[in-house]
Structure 1
Amino acid sequence: MSSDTLATVPAAPGTPERAEDLRVVPRRRYGQWTAAVAVLALLGLATASVVRNKAFQWDVVADYFTTASVLRGLWLTLWLTAVVMVLGFALGSLLAAFRLSANPVLRGVSRGYVWLFRSIPILVQLLLWFNIGALYPTLLGVRTVDLLSPVAVAIVGLTLHEAAYAAEVVRGGLLSVDRGQIEAADALGLSRWRSRRRIVLPQAMRAIVPPAGNMLIGTLKGTSIVSVIAVNDLLFSAQLIYHQTYQVIPLLMVATLWYTVVTSVLGIGQHYVEKHYARGTGTDR
């Protein structure tokens, strides 16, 4: 059959003659929408149950939410979180540098530190530091009980614990940078410090920021454990109140809501920091 014959063959009725005449219809996903409706219904029922449950005593929650003692505890929690994160990442960065060093002694020290402090639960560490006076009654010529207050014990214990995890986060971020980038910087004659600061670190931050943000939020919540050594943080402030009023649930809800608010703010900040360091990678969304 010739091409002329093919050209004169009429198209079947209802068949589009051109590709652009075709209408693309999205696939119907009824199962997903059914599951979404079911989840929303369950969330609505759970929310209604919490709101209508008088045992939560929401009026009491509103009364204590911004009291001076609760806000002081919140401030101490935020301050403790900031101090621990700064000191923990400073020590963790040093340990990461040791781990990547060519010196086997430094590598062994870093590896041993991370192994030890990741093996001991944070509560056990805090209690050990809190009772360090039983092992060393004096330090630097000063009584240990006078030198290490509960807040100082919290800072020491949380920082040493945080540094072990920060070391692995920093080490993983540095190892994520392609070795060719460092070799190219060396070939251009850049100094070791400048190549690390201008080339390696900006790229490593893309891998460091997400777990570091998660550690920040985890540290904020983890500070609640210092209440066991009588540090007047947010949770301990709430406990002091409900030990007097016996309104346990409302005061726990006060602490819960404040933790939720602060972690939400930190989560938003983490999103924008990640977006900043992901520029040019196609993942900055």
Structure 2
Amino acid sequence: MGKNLTSLVSCFARGYHYLNNDSWVFEDALAHCLLTKQEYQEISQSMIEGIHFFNPQFEGTKEEALKWIVNHQLAPTVLARSAFYQDCLKQKMERERQYLIFGSGLDSFAYSLLKGLNVFEIDRPDVIKDKLQRLKNAHIDYDHVHFIGCQLEDDDWISQLYKNNYCQDVISFSSLLGLCYYLSKDDFSKLLCILNKNVKEGSYLVFDYPCDHQSRESLKNKQLASGAGDSMKAKYQHDEIEKLLLSHGFEIEKHLDYDVITHLYFDEYNQCHYDSPIIPFQDISYVFARKR
């Protein structure tokens, strides 16, 4: 499989959810196209073999084991944050704006909802190289996307952004989904500072973050990420996030916690799938903010 196992597993979760349902928390028809059949099968098998790591008391078939792991462990945060991002986009999306996807991994928004718009995908050089090959293999058009290979902990990404025709005088919509888990608090603050200096007033920012209290499911994901070489580095309190954003010139428009996330993104799905519900993690929150 590819180097970025965390990104592969997230893509698998979105793909599995789409392929095995007729209604969705978040509908991603392209995710499975970015994985090879072998990768999809290998991830499936690996998860099935690890069922007792996730649920020591589990009893059932291999298919039931995989469904349990996806619905309880892999998919909740991946699906809900994507649905949240989609909702925020639909409220503010305009053709003349710029769309920045930080830590883009195997995200497919640029090729579905943002198709034909001015998109910048920003991630590590090896991840970008791998993504481009997958897009070619899947015959997915990416002519409207600028790919920025960099380390976000460094300052070089902003100069590369400008070299790829980023315009500071145009309102931008930035996604940092699934990112701040893997940045130290200092690096996340630095990223917000650079964004504040380089995006136009009225620009938008959306991200999710782990709260100080840690759920059993998040602990398992932390162990998985560590095993894949991705260390989770930070957790936040709600008021800490609000103060941090204000200090960098961003004002929160939406700040969603467990109860609201459950109601908005899972209640309807779970009513139709009461025998196999998807429950969000209690220690993940979502933010939609605007530069003042």
**What is the TM-score of this pair, normalised by structure 1?**
0.27
Bigger relative contact order, structure 1 or 2 (CA pairs below 8 A, ≥6 apart): 1
Tell which structure's C-alpha radius of gyration is larger: 1
Higher strand share: 2
